[in-house]
């Protein structure tokens, strides 16, 4: 079992959860496309063999469809902006759990925090450190999903 989170694991976790929970099918983005709508960003702290934060961003239009698919309703008929943050936070929560399993298996106890979702903005204004892991995906309507993992520096071993 790989001990570290990788870009491939992040990509697989996001794709798997969006497909299983919300029937949204994604592929890695061939290039960085502009955001074509307001952007929601979820931050989820985690601690496994590594500690860090999972950051997930996507457009409000995709969030509306995710919320509708989760509820089994019509996105246009049941438009409720309050559902967007809720559904995106829950997606982040489940992606975090799947990512922990991919990276660390089921033998290690991992902890996920409570996801925090920022209100919709024109752009996802997140500065990622150079060491951050980052992937960008597109759904079949070319709506963008960005996922990043910022890892905290490993604590020094005792005696060093």
Q: Which residues bind other proteins (CB under 8 A)?
A: 17, 20-21, 67, 70-72, 82-83, 86-87, 89-90, 93-94, 96-98, 100-101, 106-110, 112-114
CB of 106 to other proteins, least distance (A): 5
CB of 49 to other proteins, least distance (A): 12
User: Helices marked H in the chain — which ranges?
Assistant: 7-22, 60-71, 81-104
Q: Considering the complex, state which of residue 33 and residue 111 has its C-beta at the smaller distance from other proteins.
A: 111
First to last CA, the chain: 27
The answer to whether 15 and 99 have CB atoms below 8 angstroms apart is: no
Q: Considering the complex, state which of residue 82 and residue 129 has its C-beta at the smaller distance from other proteins.
A: 82
Q: Considering the complex, state which of residue 8 and residue 20 has its C-beta at the smaller distance from other proteins.
A: 20
Q: How far is CA 31 from the centre of its chain?
A: 18
60-71 helix and 81-104 helix, angle to the nearest 10 degrees? 80
CB of 133 to other proteins, least distance (A): 19
**CA gap 89, 93 in Å, rounded:** 6
**CA gap 47, 16 in Å, rounded:** 21
Q: Considering the complex, state which of residue 33 and residue 71 has its C-beta at the smaller distance from other proteins.
A: 71
CB of 71 to other proteins, least distance (A): 6
């Amino acid at each position: 079992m790989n001990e570290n989170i990788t870009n491939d694991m992040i990509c697989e976790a996001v794709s798997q959860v969006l497909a299983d929970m919300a029937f949204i099918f994604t592929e890695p983005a061939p290039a960085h496309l502009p955001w074509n709508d307001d952007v929601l960003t979820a931050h989820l702290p985690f601690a496994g063999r590594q500690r860090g934060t999972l950051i997930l961003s996507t457009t409000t239009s995709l969030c509306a469809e995710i919320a509708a698919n989760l509820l089994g309703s019509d996105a246009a008929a049941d438009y409720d902006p309050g559902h967007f943050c809720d559904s995106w936070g829950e997606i982040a929560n489940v992606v975090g759990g799947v990512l922990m399993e991919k990276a660390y298996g089921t033998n290690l106890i991992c902890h996920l925090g409570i996801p925090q979702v920022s209100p919709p903005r024109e752009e996802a204004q997140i500065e990622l450190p150079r060491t951050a892991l980052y992937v960008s995906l597109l759904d079949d309507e070319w709506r963008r999903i960005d996922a990043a993992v910022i890892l905290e520096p490993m604590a020094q071993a005792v005696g060093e």
